[in-house]
Structure 1
Amino acid sequence: MRFFSGAAVALAVGLILSGCYSDTQPAATTKAVPPGASGVVRADLPRLPYRIYQNILRREPELGETVWTGAYRIYQGTLPGSPDTITLHLFQERASGFATTGLYASCHRADGHPYELVGRASADSLLLWGDVGQEDARARAEAGPRWRLLCQGRTLVGTHNGQPIRLREAFPLNSLAFAAPGFSDSIIAFPGITKSPVARISLQALLPKQRTVQPWPFESPSPDLTLSINIMRDLRARNGALPNHPAPELSQIWDEQRTSYQKTYFEKVQAKPGNMLLAALSPEDFPYYEFQQHQITYVLWNQAPLLSLGFYTYRYEGGAHGGYGTDVATYDTRTGQRLRFADIFRPGTEAQLSQLLEKAVRRALHITGQSLEERLNVETLPVTHNVYLTSGGAVFVYAPYEIASYGDGEISLFISQADLQPLLIPSTAGLLSRTLSTQ
């Protein structure tokens, strides 16, 4: 994986995406900044097959709390030689200072099968790897650049697999627009020491823009408001809060998260009395104390009455590599309520789901002529409840190590609506049909 300095990433993203995201440029504000430090930071991120993270290798001269705004856009067009319309969901994480910057993209045809793409920005282009119809995540990541795109106002112009392509920004009927506020901060392990280890933490959220004014007392909340509340609840649940707890404002979630993270970081780093002295004398011996925690929310599906989001978390607390994973969720936009596993599938259907998932994983990872345990960490495929819906079916997401090696990354398995139909609760089957009819 290739990494870039913070200044290089900021310049590249600014040059490439300023035309596409001019209305959501970050209005960064920095609070009181503690003493800075310079030098090389050990930033050991995993090789992610679904997306590329451009992490900062050089510590910025200013450390402190920063607020920024990301951008989410939808583009539509046709692939060269194909009459099918494709929809590209492109999310640009933005930040100033030390925080990570990345592109998150997924693409699908009208059949509702999503494919996550790998992406990065360079000085004069936007590059995406992968293709619509390519299920193997590693194959998509290793296939080389397939999409080369330039922003021209509200249009992406370039080539797909060497053939001309033009994608126009779109706002499909019954889709939602989002604001993308974000926060980041640094925590100095030993204040007063010039080259003290520093932990980095960030939080990026998505909030529906079509928020409705709070109803009068005794009236039911509007679907838009309920949706925002439930997204905030799920975001807060990433940090251990119960799903039914009251949903606070995003700034409160950030304050709670940062306070808890700082407490945990100090407990781990300052546990040994001699660490502070050693850090002052030999800062190069403390790379493993450069902790990180980054959380980001991005769109997986956005076509009413279904909205599916991914809540991604990356953590590094020393060692060879960090840990990461994506919790996914689907919401009924008519009510704003989240659809959980028990709201989607009939009771007692896990055995059938396991069989469908085994076929899907064999197809995705090209497992033929051998048992699952020869390739994976399991004899039979467990049914994860980490699942989201599209108009065409359901996607089951497995974290690293859950069924395969760390090198295999996250594994997402798609099962079509046709195969799932006998296993779906009737109301959920109706939602999928409604989504298809609105396209």
Structure 2
Amino acid sequence: MKYSFLLCLFGLTILSACNNPKNGNKTTGTPDSTTNAKTELTENFYKRLEGTIAGKKVVMHLQKVNDDVSGTYYYDGSWLNLSTDTLIGKDSIVLTEYSYYESYFTQDFKSPHLALKWNGNGFSGTWESGDKAKKFPIALMEKYPEGSYQFNTGFYEDSVKAFASQPKSPAAQISFEYLESKNTDEYGIWLNTELKKISGVKPQVDRLVGFKNIATAYFKDYKLQVTEQSKNGRDEDFQAWMNYTNNSQQSVSYNDKGYVVIDFLADAYTGGAHGNYSSLMFCLDVKNKKQLVLSDIVKTDSSTLQGILERNLRKAYNIKATDALSTVLFDDVIKPNNNFYLNANGIAFMYNPYEVASYAQGQIVVFIPYSDLKTYLVPAFAQRMGIK
């Protein structure tokens, strides 16, 4: 679902639905790779995978909900995203690979594909370039080393018609794709509390009850807007704009060293030419039961970090030293924000549409390798991450 969001927003499909909730209470856990060697993939899952693609080490995060697979991995300096291309039987998946930078520079870029077959403990398969000129082997094993966590995945969806008596009435639809820690110790309890809060559910409220409460408030507001539009005497054309959607997804982008990074992607359509979307990144220090702030990772003045950020922006988006940043951005300056995330190789800053650039340019992501930050890394963080 994750990268389908980003692609589908440019060709938004108008939905109509009936008031019939599909409750995602069918969460299924990730099988323990040491004891479960079933060669069929479960209906829903989260998997942390270690191995190689083209001989290079990678850690991949994959999750599947309702026949929709998404994930991420880091390879040779690029943070790559994955979404479903094809599901083949119950043991094979073909994934499309998506890069922020490639999509930015090449409109007709042909995305690579990963053909994966599940063997009970991991995936084997082939990476193939979009033009089919290159092929490389893939070998991945499901692993959860100390300091990583296992998750269930789940889905909740509901919808309501604008006009109950009309068979083809416009409708509002809401959905939540969520994660739930399988750990039952104090760390798992804390992690589940944070995951609920990220989705807007109060800690003391059951997750599915919380989703239903959010949906009820959303539908109430939707009905008020429909009523207001009808009172204004608008012709029936306005109904074409009344198919509202509100979707969100939690996904894992890092899961090691007692840290879990959650990407909370939300998209919505409330009329107009197109919808909008955004990612909020949550760096959770599960070991110490806190959400990381930037000063937990880097200690330096804002101007120094801004300079490092700008150099990496220029490198990633091919902005020459003699060119202004406004060739890509709204302004000639880019500042660190609080929407950052991390992995074993560095940290990245995420800027959502309209934040620093136009909607058409999509999310602007600037990755900074730890090698550019060594002087400024907080010693305790560097030691825990094994950065020398």
State the TM bucket, normalised to the shorter chain: 0.7 to 0.9
> 1:119-171 CA deviation, whole Å, 9 max, x = no partner?
3323645132257xx85443588531322404344424233333242333411
Q: Which amino acid aligns with 1:364?
A: A
Preserved contact between residue 258 and residue 285 of structure 2 (Cα < 8 Å): yes
Q: 1:387 to 1:167 in 2, by over 3 A?
A: same
Q: What residue in structure 2 maps to residue 65 of structure 1?
A: 21
More strand by share: 2
Which whole-Å CA distance do the structure 1 matches of 2:228 and 2:312 have between them?
Answer: 47
Aligned residues: 355
Q: 1:129 to 1:142 in 2, by over 3 A?
A: farther
Q: What residue in structure 2 maps to residue 143 of structure 1?
A: 109
Which whole-Å CA distance do the structure 2 matches of 1:91 and 1:141 have between them?
Answer: 27
Question: What TM-score does the superposition give when structure 1 sets the normalisation length?
Answer: 0.72
Q: Which amino acid aligns with 1:408?
A: Q
Task: Compute the displacement of 1:430 (Å).
Answer: 3.1
Q: What residue in structure 1 maps to residue 49 of structure 2?
A: 75
Q: Which amino acid aligns with 1:396?
A: F
Q: What residue in structure 1 maps to residue 142 of structure 2?
A: 170
Task: Compute the displacement of 1:323 (Å).
Answer: 1.0
Which whole-Å CA distance do the structure 1 matches of 2:227 and 2:15 have between them?
Answer: 24
Q: Which amino acid aligns with 1:193?
A: Q
The residue correspondences of 1:10-409 to structure 2 (distance < 5 A) are 47=7, 59=16, 63-68=19-24, 69=27, 70-80=44-54, 82=55, 84-94=56-66, 102-109=68-75, 115-122=79-86, 124=88, 126-130=94-98, 135-139=101-105, 142-154=108-120, 155-161=123-129, 162-174=134-146, 175-212=148-185, 222-236=186-200, 246-274=203-231, 282=236, 285-346=238-299, 349-368=301-320, 369-409=322-362
Gap runs ≥5 in structure 2: 28-43
Which whole-Å CA distance do the structure 1 matches of 2:94 and 2:312 have between them?
Answer: 31
Task: Compute the displacement of 1:357 (Å).
Answer: 1.2
Which whole-Å CA distance do the structure 1 matches of 2:217 and 2:176 have between them?
Answer: 14
Task: Compute the displacement of 1:294 (Å).
Answer: 0.1
Q: 1:141 to 1:234 in 2, by over 3 A?
A: farther
Which whole-Å CA distance do the structure 2 matches of 1:46 and 1:319 have between them?
Answer: 17
SS at match of 2:335: coil
Q: What residue in structure 2 maps to residue 414 of structure 1?
A: 367
Task: Compute the displacement of 1:285 (Å).
Answer: 4.8
> 1:11-68 CA deviation, whole Å, 9 max, x = no partner?
xxxxxxxxxxxxxxxxxxxxxxxxxxxxxxxxxx7647xxx999766756x6510123
SS at match of 1:321: coil
Preserved contact between residue 53 and residue 139 of structure 2 (Cα < 8 Å): no
Q: 1:310 to 1:140 in 2, by over 3 A?
A: farther
Preserved contact between residue 14 and residue 243 of structure 2 (Cα < 8 Å): no
Task: Compute the displacement of 1:246 (Å).
Answer: 4.3
Preserved contact between residue 16 and residue 171 of structure 2 (Cα < 8 Å): no
Preserved contact between residue 79 and residue 160 of structure 1 (Cα < 8 Å): no
Which whole-Å CA distance do the structure 2 matches of 1:277 and 1:141 have between them?
Answer: 38
SS at match of 2:368: strand
Preserved contact between residue 48 and residue 142 of structure 2 (Cα < 8 Å): yes
Q: Which amino acid aligns with 1:386?
A: N
Q: 1:259 to 1:157 in 2, by over 3 A?
A: same
SS at match of 2:199: helix
Preserved contact between residue 157 and residue 174 of structure 2 (Cα < 8 Å): yes
Q: 1:291 to 1:265 in 2, by over 3 A?
A: same
Q: 1:356 to 1:425 in 2, by over 3 A?
A: same
Percent identity between matched residues is: 21
Q: Which amino acid aligns with 2:214?
A: Q
Which whole-Å CA distance do the structure 2 matches of 1:338 and 1:293 have between them?
Answer: 26
SS at match of 2:23: strand
> 1:414-434 CA deviation, whole Å, 9 max, x = no partner?
11222223333333333322x
Preserved contact between residue 102 and residue 109 of structure 2 (Cα < 8 Å): no
Preserved contact between residue 360 and residue 413 of structure 1 (Cα < 8 Å): yes
Q: 1:118 to 1:170 in 2, by over 3 A?
A: closer
Which whole-Å CA distance do the structure 2 matches of 1:75 and 1:123 have between them?
Answer: 19
Which whole-Å CA distance do the structure 2 matches of 1:46 and 1:129 have between them?
Answer: 13
SS at match of 2:176: strand
SS at match of 1:325: strand
